């Protein structure tokens, strides 16, 4: 996609440059930062407020990095930058790194971007910068499609498509109209072009447009604003998060990064005592080509989770491994799903179609089928992830505190209960987030949340000389992870409406039986292990699930949020759900398209019925 001409990146597809041949850095600063008066606006942000910058055309990310650097240098503490950008033709890893290497002054910011970039997925991406003081929401899609799914949050625009003559679809009247529609009152724009039709189009969209001096040899550029004054965004001072599993820890972490003082309450003596307490959990991304809202959410969550893990829990082989995951075409139905996904033509770092020989080579053991290879798949130690997320000076952990009631009192939420000595206890906070898994229904019974408890058991099977060769996670209707410390993780069973947590031999046998779907060799090993199933170790825990498997994430009633029903996908979906909640609580840009947010919203789902029977879908 990217070519070089005279030492500068050039795009042959459009026959245009990503930035001026003179000095791209000076040009971006002149046109976009000064054109939107960002230095003044960043510096005068009030405590808890933020600014949302929108961009058409992410390109090399240079304009983003210029804005990030300026924000970092001049914005007061406890303020926030959201940068929203759209890019249909993203550069590959090397192209981006090479293009950004041109700017040594931006190196520390560019390094953060390059690290996240390898986690990009089609659609919506959300990554944190400067320890969560800034976020990039990058939509990899066509401009018109992306703009349809944004809320009216944008304060300042960088209109940076290629020149209107070469890239007309970035400058159509519907695109310019939509840019105005998704802006806040008083929003500004700047662009390097001064073409008359663009000026008229922006005026028609509602902007007051002026011509100003352009950069370098360009005489003019355009800048402008919408009428009105933006309202100040407000970050709450305090929040209480109920539930110390991965969903609660991720929500607490996202709020703490925004300067909110968080009380994280967990009834058990430690964090990660429930379903997040397994010794290992896999990052399993199950998609289908139809890409319904659940699949879009899972895909966006996957990219987000990988970047979050890179920041918080590097893959060192002890607390996390990026060993890759193979999803095998072990049945006609799975083969169909995989074939359809493979036709999407997505980048190879997301997934690749592999045949049985290639799958066997990747796995290090012989497999009966090919399938999809997710090179970034892997496993983590969930309790470590919870601990790392909950470690922040802004988070007070209250483990061993059982919550009995949650009530709205004078614009605050009051949480009361008993501590481990059975003493009554309470706390108050401006916002509350319920992340207590299947127990959540008792806290807001009137919401009638359609949660079903699901028991799941994993098996820890001792490795053999042959099985030690397994290098990747292998998934069929269950999964098998490579051995660590002499044990393979095999999982997991699903028992709806079963809340008993004792380990059962029958469920070990069920887990082992899935190995037969992977290869004849593993079937043989499983048959031998089944004879000693009584000696196998394992763990059973209770998750919450909902009909359709779409978690309940969002605002339930004013200043009360839920992050619930992640089923078996919590390691992937909890992080982005924390972002959804923290952004909503702080009036910031949501990290997901509007139709996915609507599908996640707990309010719309409360009346679907209480106890579900086995119709619920859970993957794993
Ligand atoms: N802001 C970028 C920077 O600082 O490096 C430069 C952007 S470059 C001038 C324009 C970008 O718009 C290109 O990366 C191009 O791929 C993207 N683009 C072109 N047509 C598009 C479309 N229809 N939807 C989304 N992005 C598009």
CA of 181 to the centre of ligand 1 (A): 21
Asked if pLDDT for residue 231 goes beyond 90, the answer is no
Q: Which atom of ligand 1 is nearest to the CA of 59?
A: 14
Domain count, the chain: 3
Diameter of the chain measured on Cα atoms: 82
Q: In this predicted structure, what is the pLDDT of residue 619?
A: 31
* Best mutation site among 88, 103, 165, 168 for ligand 1 pocket (most ligand atoms within 8 Å of CB): 88
Residues 13 and 128 in one domain: yes
pLDDT, one tens digit per residue, over 504-536 is 999 999 999 999 999 998 999 899 999 999 999
Among 264-268, 404-408, 612-616, the minimum mean pLDDT is found in: 612-616
- pLDDT category, 606, cuts 50, 70, 90? low
Boundary-marking domain end, from 185, 204, 225: 225
Ligand 1 center to residue 355 CA distance, Å?
Answer: 36
Q: Where among 524, 545, 566 does a domain terminate? A: 545
Atom number of ligand 1 nearest to Cα 62: 4
In the chain, % of residues over pLDDT 90 = 90
- How many angstroms does the Cα of residue 91 sit away from the middle of ligand 1? 10
pLDDT for 608 beyond 60: no
Measure 184 CA to ligand 1 centroid, in angstroms: 23
User: For residues 415 and 444, is the Cβ–Cβ distance under 8 A?
Assistant: no
What lies within 8 Å, CB to CB, of 50 at 6+ separation is 79, 80, 81, 82, 233, 235, 586, 587, 588
Distance, CA of 595 to CA of 300 (rounded, Å):
13
| Ligand 1 center–CA 603 separation, angstroms | 37
- 3-class DSSP assignment, residue 457: strand
Q: 63 lies in a domain?
A: yes
Q: Does the structure show a pLDDT above 50 at 67?
A: yes
Residues 48 and 185 in one domain: yes
The domain that holds 577 is classified in CATH as 3.50.50.60
C-alpha of 525 from chain center: 37
Residues 181 and 116 in one domain: yes
Specify if 312 maps to a domain: no
Residue 613 has pLDDT above 50, yes or no: no
Ligand 1 centroid–CA 58 distance in Å is 5
| Nearest-atom index, ligand 1, CA of 85 | 1
Together in a domain, 401 and 518: no
The answer to whether residue 250 sits within a structural domain is: yes
51 C-alpha to ligand 1 centroid (Å): 22
What's the whole-number mean pLDDT along residues 480-493?
95
Mutate to test the pocket of ligand 1, among 11, 35, 58 (most ligand atoms within 8 A of CB): 58
Q: Are residues 195 and 46 in the same domain?
A: yes
Q: Which residue minimizes the CA distance to atom 11 of ligand 1?
A: 57
- Which residue's CA is minimally distant from atom 19 of ligand 1? 161
- Distance (angstroms) between ligand 1 centre and the Cα of 21 equals 17
Burial class (CB in 10 A: 0-12, 13-18, 19+), 607: exposed
Across residues 189-193, what is the average pLDDT? 97
Domain membership flag for residue 285: no
- Same-domain status, 473 and 338: yes
Does this model's pTM top 0.75? My answer is yes
For residue 318, report the distance from its CA to the centre of ligand 1, in Å: 40
518 domain-assigned? yes
> What is the mean predicted confidence (pLDDT) over 232-249?
97
Q: Looking at residue 202, which CATH number applies to its domain?
A: 3.40.50.150
Q: Are residues 124 and 33 in the same domain?
A: yes
Q: What is the pLDDT of residue 466?
A: 80
Mean per-residue pLDDT for 196-216? 96
Q: If you average pLDDT over residues 27-54, what whole number do you get? A: 97
Give, using CA atoms, the residue closest to atom 1 of ligand 1. Answer: 58
What is the pLDDT confidence band of residue 218, given thresholds at 50, 70 and 90?
confident
Contact 196, 227 (CB under 8 A): no
User: 403 in a domain, yes or no?
Assistant: yes
Give mean pLDDT, residues 328-344. Answer: 97
- Given ligand 1 and candidates 8, 56, 57, which is best to mutate, with the most ligand atoms within 8 Å of its CB? 57
Within 6 A (CB) of ligand 1 lie 18-19, 28, 55, 57-63, 86-89, 142-143, 160-162, 167, 169-170
The pLDDT of residue 612 is above 70: no
Q: What is the DSSP string of 23-48?
A: -HHHHHIIIIIITTTHHHHHHTPPTT
Cα of 572 vs centre of ligand 1, distance in Å, is: 29
Please tell me whether residues 365 and 507 are part of one structural domain.
yes
Instruction: Note whether 140 and 54 are same-domain residues.
Output: yes
Which residue's CA is the closest to the ligand 1 atom numbered 16?
A: 89
Residue with tokens 């290992």: 280
Q: Which residue CA neighbors atom 14 of ligand 1 most closely?
A: 59
Question: How much is the pLDDT for 280?
Answer: 96
The whole-number pLDDT of residue 217 equals: 81
Domain boundary among 192, 225, 258: 225
Residue 63 CA: nearest ligand 1 atom is 4
449, 441 Cβ separation under 8 angstroms:
yes
Residue among 12, 13, 59, 175 to mutate when testing ligand 1 (max atoms within 8 A of CB)? 59
> Residue with the nearest Cα to atom 12 of ligand 1?
57
Residue 442's pLDDT band, with cuts at 50, 70 and 90, is: confident
**How high is the pLDDT of residue 610?**
39
Centroid of ligand 1 to alpha carbon of 162 (angstroms)? 6
Tokens of 288: 């289908």
3-state DSSP helix/strand/coil % of the chain, to nearest 5: 35, 25, 40
Work out which ligand 1 atom sits closest to the CA atom of 66: 4
Residue 615 has pLDDT above 50, yes or no: no
Domain containing residue 62? 2-225
Q: Does a structural domain hold residue 298?
A: no
C-alpha 104 to ligand 1 mean position (Å): 23
> Is residue 301 assigned to a domain?
no
Q: What's the 40 CA to ligand 1 centre distance in angstroms?
A: 27
Q: Which of 67, 68, 89 has the most ligand 1 atoms within 8 A of CB, as the residue to mutate?
A: 89
> What's the whole-number mean pLDDT along residues 125-129?
98
Kindly report the protein residue whose alpha carbon is nearest to atom 13 of ligand 1.
Answer: 59
Element (H, E) at 329: none
What is the chain's length? 620
CB 440 within 8 A of CB 565: no
Distance 84 CA to ligand 1 centre (A): 13
Q: Are residues 102 and 205 in the same domain?
A: yes
Please give the pLDDT value at position 445. Answer: 85
Position in ligand 1 atom list of the atom nearest CA 169:
23
* Residue indicated by tokens 């059975």: 422
Angle at 100 between CA 95 and CA 105, to 5 degrees: 170
Cα four-point dihedral sign 75, 80, 85, 90: positive
Same domain, 351 and 436: no
Coil, helix or strand at residue 183: strand
Tokens of 297: 């959410």
Q: Are residues 596 and 572 in the same domain?
A: yes
Residue 605 has pLDDT above 90, yes or no: no
Among the residue ranges 152-166, 246-260, 438-452, the one predicted with the least confidence is: 438-452
């Amino acid at each position: 996609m990217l070519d070089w001409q005279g030492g500068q990146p050039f795009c042959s597809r459009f026959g245009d440059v990503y930035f001026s041949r003179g000095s791209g850095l000076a040009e971006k600063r002149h046109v976009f930062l000064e054109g939107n008066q960002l230095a003044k606006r960043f510096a005068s942000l009030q405590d808890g407020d933020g600014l949302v910058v929108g961009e058409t055309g992410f390109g090399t990310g240079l304009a983003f990095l210029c804005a990030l650097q300026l924000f970092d240098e001049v914005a007061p503490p406890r303020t926030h930058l959201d940068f929203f950008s759209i890019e249909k033709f993203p550069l590959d890893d090397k192209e981006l790194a090479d293009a950004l290497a041109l700017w040594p002054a931006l190196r520390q910011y560019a390094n953060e971007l390059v690290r996240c970039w390898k986690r990009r997925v089609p659609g919506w991406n959300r990554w944190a910068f400067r320890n969560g003081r800034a976020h990039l929401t990058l939509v990899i899609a066509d401009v018109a499609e992306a703009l349809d799914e944004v809320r009216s949050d944008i304060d300042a625009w960088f209109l940076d498509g290629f020149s209107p003559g070469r890239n007309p679809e970035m400058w159509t009247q519907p695109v310019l109209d939509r840019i105005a529609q998704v802006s806040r009152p008083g929003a500004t724009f700047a662009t390097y072009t001064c073409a008359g039709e663009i000026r008229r189009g922006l005026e028609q969209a509602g902007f007051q447009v002026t011509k100003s001096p352009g950069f370098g040899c360009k005489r003019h550029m355009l800048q402008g604003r919408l009428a009105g004054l933006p309202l100040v965004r407000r970050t709450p001072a305090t929040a209480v998060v109920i539930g110390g599993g991965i969903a609660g820890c991720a929500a607490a972490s996202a709020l703490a990064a925004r300067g909110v003082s968080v009380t994280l309450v967990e009834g058990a003596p430690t964090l990660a005592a429930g379903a997040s307490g397994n010794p290992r959990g896999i990052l399993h991304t199950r998609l289908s080509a139809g890409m319904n809202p659940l699949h879009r959410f899972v895909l966006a969550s996957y990219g987000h989770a990988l970047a979050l893990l890179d920041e918080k829990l590097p893959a060192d082989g002890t607390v996390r491994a990026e060993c890759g995951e193979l999803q095998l075409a072990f049945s006609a139905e799975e083969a169909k799903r995989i074939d359809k996904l493979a036709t999407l033509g997505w980048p190879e770092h997301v997934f690749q179609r592999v045949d049985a020989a290639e799958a066997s080579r990747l796995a290090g053991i012989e497999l009966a089928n090919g399938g999809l290879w997710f090179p970034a798949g892997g496993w983590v130690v969930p309790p470590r992830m919870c601990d790392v997320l909950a470690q922040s000076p802004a988070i007070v952990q209250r483990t061993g505190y059982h919550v009995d009631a949650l009530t709205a009192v004078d614009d605050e939420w009051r949480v009361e209960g008993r501590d481990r000595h059975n003493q009554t206890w309470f706390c108050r906070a401006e916002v509350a987030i319920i992340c207590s898994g299947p127990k959540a229904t008792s806290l807001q019974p009137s919401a009638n949340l359609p949660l079903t408890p699901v028991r799941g058991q994993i098996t820890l099977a001792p490795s053999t000389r042959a099985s030690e060769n397994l290098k990747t996670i292998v998934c069929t209707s269950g999964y098998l992870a490579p051995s660590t410390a002499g044990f393979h993780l095999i999982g997991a069973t699903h028992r709806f409406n079963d809340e008993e947590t004792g380990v059962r031999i029958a469920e070990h046998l069920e887990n082992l039986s899935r190995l037969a779907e992977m290869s004849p060799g593993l079937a043989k090993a499983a048959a031998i292990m089944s004879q000693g199933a009584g000696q196998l170790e394992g763990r059973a825990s209770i998750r919450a699930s909902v009909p359709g498997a779409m978690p309940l994430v969002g605002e339930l009633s004013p200043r009360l949020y839920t992050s619930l029903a992640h089923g078996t996908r919590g390691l992937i979906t909890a992080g982005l759900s924390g972002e959804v909640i923290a952004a909503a609580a702080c009036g910031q840009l949501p990290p997901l398209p509007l139709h996915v947010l609507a599908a996640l919203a707990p309010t719309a789902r409360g009346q679907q019925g209480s106890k579900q029977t086995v119709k619920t879908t859970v993957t794993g």
